[in-house]
Amino acid sequence: GDGRAAVEAVERALAAGGAEPEVLERAARLCDALGEIDRSLALFGELMRLEPSRPRWVLNSARVLQRAGRTTEAELILETLYRNDVPPDAALRRPLIQDDPKRELQIVRGSSDTAVLVFMGLADQLVMPIPMFDRYLAEHDFTAVYLRDHQRLLYLTGMPSLAPDYAGTLAKLRGMLDALGVRRLITVGNSAGGVGAISYGIDMGAEQIIGFGSPTTLIGKLKSVDHRARAFADRLYRSVPHEQRDIEAKLRDPARKARVDLFYGEGMPEDRAHATQVEGVHGVTLRPLAGFGGHGSLLRLAQEGRLRAELGQLFAKR
């Protein structure tokens, strides 16, 4: 109906050479929602041609393919972004995850005694497909535990599939890891998932916490700087008690043993404000990406061919 008519109007404008990128993006997303996969891909392809320096168009094309079940094509298109960084098949020491986005928790078992808890952001994703990120963990034979927060409360009220509250979820995760023979824990969080990585990592005695564009304070200190997702933030403040949200206090606790490394775009005001909020705190290392003004620091490292090496250094036993 109206949606398809709007897309056709955009396509006519494109043929006449008059479509702006933001209009093309809206049309591409609309086609995806309508199930017009090939039309969506064609529009994102035009965006790649118009703005070749912006990786988001490649990422969006990959997501369209992934949602359509065309996983192999999605992986191939993503290889154009970070083909020089992703561990190849020959480097993998365990099977890769077969991701099911509907599940809150998924485990892929390795044979080492190290486990990595990976906390997704608000969109239930990382900035690359989960099976591709899993290659960085499979290379080390780590057990990987992938977590999604379907409640959209930054994991701070627990995960209903495991327990009714945060304390119960902690206990359940500890029991799972003990049963797997895990002796060493690392947590990783992307974007809002960094809150889970910090909170659970500290409370579970992780050795290493790694955040990519992670928030560090949720008690209103940065409201004047961070205006993102206001409706979500208001719901978080209403639903989660102050002391449970105060992950900055956990980071500043002198008893904390975990090393914390925070990657962020140096030119991204919100991410920089969160990172510098804990600058100088013991055991916290800020890792700004010079010349990068976006939120996807994990993707940026992979694009620059550095993610594999950076993770390898942080994964090394100390």
Which residue in the block uniquely carries the two structure tokens 């369209």?
Answer: 64
Is the sign of the CA dihedral 144, 150, 156, 160 positive or negative?
negative
Name residues whose C-beta falls within 8 Å of residue 309's C-beta, 6 or more positions apart in sequence.
none
Give the CA distances from residue 93 to residues 110, 129, 207, 231, in Å, rounded to whole numbers and listed in that order.
8, 19, 22, 43
Give residue-wise pLDDT tens across range 106-135.
Answer: 999 999 999 999 999 887 888 787 888 999
131 and 17 inside one domain: no
Taking the CA atoms of the chain, what radius of gyration do you get in angstroms? 20
Could you read off the pLDDT of 161-173 as tens digits, one per residue? 999 999 999 999 9
Report the SS3 class of residue 32: helix
pLDDT value for 119: 98
DSSP alpha helix (H) spans, 180-276: 193-203, 230-239, 242-245, 247-252, 269-276
Please give the model's pTM, rounded to 2 decimal places.
0.80
Q: What are phi and psi of 134, to 5 degrees?
A: -60, -25
CA distance 233 to 152: 10
Task: Tell me: do 135 and 273 sit in the same domain.
Answer: yes
- The span from the CA of 45 to the CA of 32, in Å, is 13
Which of 50, 82, 114 corresponds to the end of one domain? 82
The 10s digit of each residue's pLDDT in 54-70 is 778 888 898 888 888 88
CB atoms within 10 A of CB 41: 22
Joined tokens for residue 181: 């023979």
The answer to whether residues 36 and 159 belong to one domain is: no
Backbone angles phi, psi at 138, to 5 degrees: -65, -30
∠ CA(48), CA(52), CA(53), 5° rounding?
130
Q: Average the pLDDT over 281-291 and give the result.
A: 96
Residues 37 and 94 in one domain: no
Q: Tell me phi and psi for residue 137, to 5 degrees.
A: -90, -40
Tens-digit pLDDT profile for residues 22-31: 888 888 888 8
**What CATH number should be reported for the domain holding residue 291?**
3.40.50.1820
pLDDT digits (tens, 9 = 90+) for 73-94: 887 787 777 777 889 899 999 9
Same domain, 188 and 298: yes
Cβ contacts of residue 3 below 8 Å, gap of 6+?
A: 30, 33, 34
In this structure, the answer to whether residues 37 and 74 fall within a common structural domain is yes
Residue 106 exposure: Cα atoms within 13 Å on the Cβ side:
18
Q: Are residues 133 and 65 in the same domain?
A: no
Cα 106 to Cα 159: distance, rounded to the nearest angstrom: 13
Is the domain of 137 the same as that of 217?
Answer: yes
Q: Domain count of the chain?
A: 2
Assess whether pLDDT exceeds 80 at residue 1: no
Question: Are residues 75 and 133 located together in one domain of the fold?
Answer: no
- Residue 157 CA to residue 149 CA, distance in Å, equals 10
Same domain, 150 and 63: no
Looking at the structure, do residues 157 and 12 belong to the same domain, yes or no?
no
CATH number at 15 reads 1.25.40.10
- Which amino acid is residue 67, in one-letter code? R
Indicate if 162 and 208 belong to the same structural domain. yes
Domain containing 13: what range? Answer: 2-82
**Would you list the DSSP string of 109-121?**
--SSSEEEEEE--
Name the domain boundary from 82, 115, 130. Answer: 82
Q: Which residues of 253-286 are buried (b: 16+ CB within 10 A; e: fewer)?
A: eeebebbbbbbbbbebebbbbbbebbeebeebeb
Where a domain ends, among 82, 105, 136? 82
Of residues 228 and 300, more confidence is placed in 300
Choice between 223 and 255, residue whose per-residue pLDDT is larger: 255
pLDDT digits (tens, 9 = 90+) for 242-256: 888 889 999 999 999
DSSP letter at 88 equals P
CA distance 239 to 167: 16
Place of tokens 């979820």: 169
